[in-house]
Chain A
Amino acid sequence: MSSAALIDLLQLILLTVTTVVVMVVAGFKRDHGLVNALTQCGLVAALFVFVFIEPTTPLQVTPLLIFDEYSLFFANLSIIGGIGVSAMAYPYFEKHHQYNEEFYLLVLCGTLGGVVMAASNHFVSFFIGMELVSISLYALIAYPLHSTRPAKAPLEAAVKYLIMSGIASAVLLFGMALVYAMAGSFEFRALAAATSSVEAGYQPVILVGYLLMLAGVAFKLSLVPFHMWTPDVYEGAPLPVTAFLATVSKAGMIAVSMRLLLNAQAFNFGEITVVLSLLAAASMLFGNLLALMQSNIKRMLAYSSIAHLGYLLVVVIAAAAVPDLLSVEGMSYYMAAYFLMSLGGFAVVSALSTADKELDHLLDFQGLFWRNPWLAAVMITVLLSLAGIPLTAGFIGKFYIFTTGVEGQLWFLLTMLIIGSAIGLYYYLRLIYTMLQDPNPALRDDPAKQSLPAGLNLVMAAMVLAILYLGVYPTPFIETLQSLAGAF
């Protein structure tokens, strides 16, 4: 293995080393603070190592992984997600004196899975990365299992996720097997040539293979109608895990799916575009409609994330019709913006909660602006960004979606986008309004009044500043994304 390959692998190596170190330290001495600090250090180190990596020349390391700007971008996103989740987890689990250290191990494994998926170029690494994330999640979702009063119903959520995710992974694997049977190769780029050379009678087999893979991917991305697990699992899982679910698992999945679709030229099959359009339209519509009824913030954010993945899918579909790589740029931008918004939103809810009592109901937020202006300001910025209001990254993201939609002439999807956004406005504004109302005078021991650890404040500040910066002056970031898309 050349030194260049080793340098490219540095992020993966550092993450693995951190995992092992954390495991060993936890084995000798159970200390929540120490383990959290080690995890954070390892993750931050893995993040900053990217300055040494030279992604401008894509490098294929083993047939499984490719390191280029695209994989670096999504790997960094996954690691930032891991940092955010660890920062949230510390105050959340602080008072919960039961085996907190394994949490960080699982988060590190999950982040590792995200990085592998980002760099994946091959069915095997796709599956390995995906399963790393999923299996970590099985345990993470069930986390405060031995607590005397768990906040929600984590075991129920974990079992739901375990069974449904297992089925989805099996379906995905079946799809991969069918494609391999026809194409004779696991590598994404080899599939393009293979698809066209397969005899006409066997084309449907490849198509079915792709569709089965899409079904598995749609499950992980919680697109309608594969979304049924999302609200229950988001609500039942502890807040830091919900944040992890909403960000890292989705980022890796969409990164590898986009690479698969474009490298394998799957859009040559018109049916795939049709199916994706239906998924997108249904997600945008039903995600927003179902969120209207929710008074639990976690469920509301779950449905809103379904809608946002629907919006994102419009950009992916445009890749079929748009000759230039605007869609890859748009997808990357939107994913980054979505990351910031989700992490910020869940961080605020997590700041108000502990493992024994989660404050995730709409009424818990009443008057938050007057009780703790900082938390409310973060939440308002996040909500405005989710709604797509200018001055925020969410607006530029929406702008990208509209632009790619117009270029790809996807009128039906754009109409759905407008309808979905209109519906979405209502529940975002309702939460903002609740925060602006007068606080409930009967409130005792207000969790909003306690001081937060510096790590969590730092994460929230970073999210808010990033959202505002990307909304007002996105040019430098856009230039990075342009070269990223060009490398494709």
Chain B
Amino acid sequence: MILVWLMVILFAGGVGAWLAESSGAEHPRAVALAALLLDLFLVVLMLVAPDSMGLGAVDTVAQLGQRGDWLVLFQSDWIPRFGVSFIFGVDGLGLMLVALTVFLGLMALGAAWGEIHERSGFFYFNLLWTLAGVIGVFTALDLFLFFFFWEIMLIPMYFIIAIWGHENKEYAAMKFFIFTQVSGLLMLLSILLLVYFHYTSTNVLTFSYFQLLGTQLPASLGYWVMLGFFIAFATKLPAVPVHNWLPDAHSQAPTAGSVILAGVLLKTGAYGLIRFTIPLFPDASAQFAPIAMTLGAISILYTAKVAFGQSDLKRLIAYTSVSHMGFVLLGVYAWNAQALQGAVMTMLAHGFSAAALFMLAGGLQHRIHTRDMDQMGGFWGVAPQMAFMAMFFTVAAVGMPGLGNFVGEFLVLLGSFQVNHTITAFAALGLVVAAVYSLIVIQKVFFGKNRHNHRMADLSGMEFLCFSLMMIGLIWMGMYPQTMLDMAQPTLESLNVAFNP
């Protein structure tokens, strides 16, 4: 039930924030803050004391006949005609991603605190509803329900980009929506094919994840059905060649929107691959793994090169997001213990570092009204706190040991080396290119001369707080990743189906 409460609080909070606008321009953000803090409390409760969630979870778990270490589970009928039911559940992986979502939601709120003043009620409504949709995606275990939330998280995000975005928002929002929607339709087709084949072989019509695991699909068809899922998640991840929506969407979205896009929405693609694509289609995935790993390596290198050529700061950071997610794709399809742990760590660490970088870029844009790096320079003297934070998070994105990204990327490379030497060698070059594109940002923006004589305010209290929290998170992940690795371990063990690449 607590999972349902997580979403209900956000849905209700969104409506409340919208209505609160009429009573005061600053009320919506307070309502949104209250809703997110309440959710954070519930998530911490689940992290710290999962047994307190009630024996109900344990019973339901046994009834569904599933495997894996599920912490919380909720089930109820929805459309019995099609075998669709409400099944929400989290295990270690899901819980960490939900925690990431809520935490980054608070960070996005912090970013929007000083920035969004027009129509703020509707903004916070969309923000909270996007977060609720994402939590739904991370917890849904019925394929119809998963698809339902997959689509729901799109609309409020579309509104955020279309209303509060920057100069090219219509184009960016439209592209974002169409890419994700079309790939989603392919996923719907695959879901229906899977369910239909399950029905013809077992005479049970169901969309439940647990019952669909282990469906035997005829070999050729299984490959196509797996591809449907893969394309949908690869578009979200994003992987080359369906990554094209991301630079536009990220650079045109308002800061809070970018934080949620980069920090959370991209992880839904990776989660989908780990939870659904590979366990549901082990043979087809094993066949497809070399192609996927190659795409991952290409993502890492190609987008890093393109990032280096950007003069728009946010677009550069957007391309680096694609590059980092290439590591995740590589790790997931290597499918051994280290690579998967690495993929999970990269997802978490990238969530923090990318969110922070976007907040910095957004903060800069808010102050000097441009994203063009050629207009910037010498800001270390003008805003030293901001420069320090930028240096820290850039160094994190580079993969400096001691911070979370290093742990993730290292484990991915370690794991994928055991599977394919060549691809890993190329991917490892990505570490070098990462240094190049990251340091060019610092060079152009913070070092050098302040040619255009910009004067701007340093970090506000709210921004400083957000950055400090993310800094602590990255240091924790880098210095003591065992916490996260332990949480993810049971999931990854249970998912370790017979998949021998």
Interface residues of A in 456-473 (CB under 8 A from B): 473
Interface membership of chain B positions 147-172, coded 1 if the CB is closer than 8 angstroms to chain A and 0 otherwise: 11101101100110011000000100
B261 at the interface (CB under 8 A from A): no
Contacts A406-B193, A433-B170; is A425 near B178 (CB within 8 Å)? yes
Interface membership of chain A positions 445-488, coded 1 if the CB is closer than 8 angstroms to chain B and 0 otherwise: 00000000000000000000000000001110011001000000
Give Cα A384–Cα B81 distance, bound, in whole angstroms: 24
Name the A residues within 8 Å of B80 (CB-CB): 475
Contacts A425-B178, A475-B78, A478-B79; is A436 near B163 (CB within 8 Å)? yes
A14 at the interface (CB under 8 A from B): no
Identify which of A384, A395, A403, A433 contacts B174 (C-beta below 8 A): A433
Name the B residues within 8 Å of A384 (CB-CB): 155
Give Cα A402–Cα B193 distance, bound, in whole angstroms: 10
B302 at the interface (CB under 8 A from A): no
Contacts A402-B188, A429-B158, A478-B81; is A422 near B178 (CB within 8 Å)? yes
Number of interface residues of B (CB under 8 A): 31
Contact check, A403 vs B147: say whether CB atoms are below 8 A apart.
Answer: no
Identify which of A399, A418, A425 contacts B186 (C-beta below 8 A): A418
Contact check, A390 vs B148: say whether CB atoms are below 8 A apart.
Answer: yes
Contacts A418-B182, A418-B185, A422-B181; is A433 near B162 (CB within 8 Å)? yes
Contact check, A429 vs B193: say whether CB atoms are below 8 A apart.
Answer: no
Interface residues of B in 179-193 (CB under 8 A from A): 181-182, 185-186, 188-189, 192-193
B480 at the interface (CB under 8 A from A): no
Residue of A nearest to B196 (CB): A406
A426 at the interface (CB under 8 A from B): yes
Contact check, A390 vs B178: say whether CB atoms are below 8 A apart.
Answer: no
Contact check, B152 vs A474: say whether CB atoms are below 8 A apart.
Answer: no
B41 at the interface (CB under 8 A from A): no
Most buried by B among A425, A426, A430: A425
B223 at the interface (CB under 8 A from A): no
Closest chain A CB from B412 CB (angstroms): 33
Give Cα A403–Cα B191 distance, bound, in whole angstroms: 10
B113 at the interface (CB under 8 A from A): no
Residue of B nearest to A475 (CB): B79
Name the A residues within 8 Å of B177 (CB-CB): 425, 429
Name the A residues within 8 Å of B79 (CB-CB): 474-475, 478
Contacts A433-B174, A436-B163, A475-B79; is A402 near B189 (CB within 8 Å)? yes
Identify which of A391, A406, A473, A478 contacts B192 (C-beta below 8 A): A406
Identify which of B152, B173, B174, B196 contacts A390 (C-beta below 8 A): B152
Contact check, A390 vs B151: say whether CB atoms are below 8 A apart.
Answer: yes
Interface residues of B in 68-98 (CB under 8 A from A): 78-82
Interface membership of chain B positions 122-146, coded 1 if the CB is closer than 8 angstroms to chain A and 0 otherwise: 0000000000000000000000100
Identify which of B147, B185, B192, B193 contacts A422 (C-beta below 8 A): B185
Give Cα A450–Cα B78 distance, bound, in whole angstroms: 41
Contact check, A418 vs B158: say whether CB atoms are below 8 A apart.
Answer: no
Contact check, B174 vs A475: say whether CB atoms are below 8 A apart.
Answer: no
Closest chain B CB from A328 CB (angstroms): 14
Contact check, A391 vs B152: say whether CB atoms are below 8 A apart.
Answer: yes
Residue of A nearest to B199 (CB): A407
Give the contact-size bracket for chain A.
20 to 34
Name the A residues within 8 Å of B196 (CB-CB): 403, 406-407
Give Cα A426–Cα B178 distance, bound, in whole angstroms: 7
Name the B residues within 8 Å of A395 (CB-CB): 151
Most buried by B among A399, A403, A474: A399
Contact check, A390 vs B147: say whether CB atoms are below 8 A apart.
Answer: yes
Interface membership of chain A positions 371-410, coded 1 if the CB is closer than 8 angstroms to chain B and 0 otherwise: 0000000000000100101110001000100110011000
A421 at the interface (CB under 8 A from B): yes
Residue of A nearest to B118 (CB): A438
Give Cα A464–Cα B126 distance, bound, in whole angstroms: 19
Give Cα A436–Cα B178 distance, bound, in whole angstroms: 18
Contact check, B182 vs A426: say whether CB atoms are below 8 A apart.
Answer: no
Name the A residues within 8 Å of B186 (CB-CB): 418
Give Cα A364–Cα B411 distance, bound, in whole angstroms: 56
Give Cα A384–Cα B182 distance, bound, in whole angstroms: 15
Name the B residues within 8 Å of A479 (CB-CB): 81
Residue of B nearest to A474 (CB): B79
Identify which of B148, B151, B174, B182 contacts A429 (C-beta below 8 A): B174
Contact check, A421 vs B185: say whether CB atoms are below 8 A apart.
Answer: yes
A414 at the interface (CB under 8 A from B): yes
Give Cα A418–Cα B181 distance, bound, in whole angstroms: 10
Name the A residues within 8 Å of B82 (CB-CB): 399, 403
Contact check, A426 vs B174: say whether CB atoms are below 8 A apart.
Answer: yes
Interface membership of chain A positions 219-241, coded 1 if the CB is closer than 8 angstroms to chain B and 0 otherwise: 00000000000000000000000
Give Cα A482–Cα B78 distance, bound, in whole angstroms: 16
Name the B residues within 8 Å of A425 (CB-CB): 177-178, 181-182
Name the B residues within 8 Å of A436 (CB-CB): 159, 162-163
Give Cα A430–Cα B149 distance, bound, in whole angstroms: 23
Closest chain A CB from B191 CB (angstroms): 9
Contact check, A433 vs B173: say whether CB atoms are below 8 A apart.
Answer: yes
Name the A residues within 8 Å of B158 (CB-CB): 429
Name the A residues within 8 Å of B188 (CB-CB): 399, 402
Name the A residues within 8 Å of B154 (CB-CB): 389
Give Cα A406–Cα B192 distance, bound, in whole angstroms: 7
Most buried by A among B163, B185, B196: B185
**Cβ contacts A to B, 22 pairs, < 8 Å:** A389-B152, A389-B154, A399-B188, A402-B189, A402-B192, A403-B196, A406-B189, A414-B189, A418-B182, A418-B186, A421-B185, A422-B178, A422-B181, A422-B185, A425-B181, A426-B178, A429-B178, A433-B162, A433-B173, A436-B163, A473-B78, A479-B81
Residues of B participating in the A interface, judged by any CB pair closer than 8 Å = 78-82, 144, 147-149, 151-152, 154-155, 158-159, 162-163, 170, 173-174, 177-178, 181-182, 185-186, 188-189, 192-193, 196
